[in-house]
Amino acid sequence: MKRRRLPLEHKKVIFHIDVNSAFLSWEAVYRLQNGAREDLREETAAVGGDMATRHGVVLAKSLAAKKYGVRTGESLVEAMRKCPHLRIVPPNHALYKKYSDAFIRVLEQYSPDVEQYSIDEAFVDMSGTQGLWGDPRTAADRIRRQIRSELGFTVNIGISENKLLAKMASDFEKPDKVHTLWKEEIPKKMWPLPVSDLLFVGKATEAKLSALGIHTIGELAKADRAVLKSHLKKHGEAIWEFANGIDVSLIRPAADNKGYGNSTTIAFDVTDAPTAKLILLSLAETVGARLRAAGVRAEVIAVGIKNSDFRYTSHQTTLPGATNITQEIYGCACRLFDELWDGTAIRLLGIHAGRVSDGESVRQLDLFSRENYEKLEKVDTAVDKIRQKYGKDSIMRASFMKKPFNHMAGGTKEGLERGAD
């Protein structure tokens, strides 16, 4: 029996808008507006950091550079080996923030429900706006043209019923394109793609799937879910759902998404769980201190991982009671990490604390818990006072002694930033 399609006016409509080669585009626009004669986007160029540090990687590249095999996330040394005449432009993050804010302001003209996913991409709930802006493709084309004419750079827009499929659609042919990926289009448009094109499938996961004889998204969608779980744990179930277009996550406008987050880019590849968890502890120290300084507690904890290919994944959970206790945040982050990490080398780790509330924590009694939360709160308070009086480095855990990273990582509200390209 053929499935009856919902009328468009009753259908959920989600846009994913992604700036094409964001950092390079924004550099190009800024330079053209300030007298430059050449457009970086038309040159063999890339935006990258200092070659003397770990930030010496390609953050964005032009189409001409891509033809030489230059990839986002690879080192500048590798990129220059592929393309000796590659023009390297240092990043200007303050400039990118200004263009990102202008980009979001345009989207907010079309819907009140805008979720900024990273500095260069956002989701917009366009459900029920057909009377204002026309059908989804017409509205998307209008947004795309407005951004290009008013701000000077181009975007790709993906359209679907949920965030996952909209994001997949925006990654189809670039630049300056609009693509749809409705659920009925999945078999034709998504299933033939290599499994590595699916969100949250990194190299390690791809290798495990290949060993199971799974090479395309379609093969993953038709695989036995129990077999995937036995080999990949919860991550296997999650990517099976993604392959079948299942995603129940909601648009979270900024006003509803207040939280305290920190992330840190690591100066070396992290390939073992103990080191990763020590870095998570340093992030929990900072996030916990910020929550306590603001007099608030968080009920939702999320962990984000960016691997050496700049692929980003995140996982979150809701706590039984809101907290600002460093040890509790850390313990939750470790559990999330164990469920999320697929063994791929890690470049960035982040912790985000959300669903923030004021006042005292209302904690349900647990007869089987041995944690003395009152004692942990007193320890945190004492440590905060010492650091406020003598500086944050005046007291630290012994586990951080002689380690090549800060005992309180991510000193500003970086959130869980994604790669920009």
DSSP 98-133: HHHHHHHHHHTTT-S-EEEEETTEEEEE-TT-HHHH
pLDDT on residue 135: 94
CB 288 within 8 A of CB 384: no
DSSP conformational letter for 75: B
CB 144 within 8 A of CB 178: yes
Has residue 300 been placed in a domain? yes
How many CA atoms, within 13 angstroms, populate the side-chain half-sphere of residue 104?
19
Domain CATH for 223:
1.10.150.20
Has residue 46 been placed in a domain? yes
pLDDT on residue 387: 80
Q: Are 289 and 333 within one domain? A: yes
pLDDT tens per residue, range 150-188? 999 999 999 999 999 999 999 999 999 999 999 999 999
User: Pick from 135, 163, 183: which residue ends a domain?
Assistant: 183
Stated pTM of the model: 0.68
CA neighbor of 306 nearest in space, from 181, 200, 187: 200
Residues annotated catalytic, as ranges: 121
Tokens 């053929």, residue?
A: 2
Domain CATH for 70:
3.30.70.270
Tokens of 316: 């979150």
Has residue 101 been placed in a domain? yes
User: Pick from 159, 183, 207: which residue ends a domain?
Assistant: 183
Tokens of 211: 């060993």
The helix or strand, by DSSP H or E, that contains position 122, with its residue range, turns out to be strand 121-125
Q: Are 106 and 54 within one domain? A: yes
Q: Are 121 and 14 within one domain? A: yes
CA neighbor of 271 nearest in space, from 343, 337, 217: 343
pLDDT on residue 368: 38
Q: What is the DSSP string of 210-230?
A: HHTT--BHHHHHTS-HHHHHH
Has residue 323 been placed in a domain? yes
pLDDT on residue 410: 65
CB 37 within 8 A of CB 53: no
DSSP conformational letter for 57: B
pLDDT on residue 366: 44
pLDDT on residue 371: 59
Neighbours of 307 (CB within 10 A): 22
Q: Are 318 and 218 within one domain? A: no
Q: Are 12 and 144 within one domain? A: yes
Has residue 412 been placed in a domain? no
- The shares of helix, strand and coil residues in the chain, as percent rounded to the nearest 5, are 45, 20, 35
pLDDT on residue 26: 96
Beta bridge partners of 350: 263, 304
CB 50 within 8 A of CB 56: yes
Q: Are 319 and 376 within one domain? A: yes
Q: Are 158 and 99 within one domain? A: yes
Amino acid at 116: Q
pLDDT tens per residue, range 305-351? 988 777 778 888 888 788 999 999 999 999 999 888 888 889 889 99
Has residue 333 been placed in a domain? yes
Task: Give the separation between CA 332 and CA 306, rounded to whole angstroms.
Answer: 19
Q: Are 72 and 129 within one domain? A: yes
Has residue 279 been placed in a domain? yes
Q: Are 102 and 166 within one domain? A: yes
CA neighbor of 121 nearest in space, from 166, 58, 91, 160: 166
Has residue 420 been placed in a domain? no
Work out how many domains the chain is built from and give that number.
3
pLDDT on residue 50: 63
Q: Are 360 and 290 within one domain? A: yes
Domain CATH for 304:
3.30.1490.100
Q: Are 109 and 179 within one domain? A: yes
Tokens of 402: 């002689």
pLDDT on residue 359: 56
Task: Give the separation between CA 40 and CA 24, rounded to whole angstroms.
Answer: 7
Q: Are 109 and 219 within one domain? A: no
Residue numbers of the domain that contains 67: 7-183
Segments in the chain below pLDDT 70: 1-10, 50-55, 254-258, 359-372, 402, 404-405, 410-421
User: Pick from 139, 168, 183: which residue ends a domain?
Assistant: 183
3-state secondary structure of 151: helix
Q: Is residue 194 reached through a cis peptide bond, with omega within 30 degrees of 0 on the bond before it?
A: no
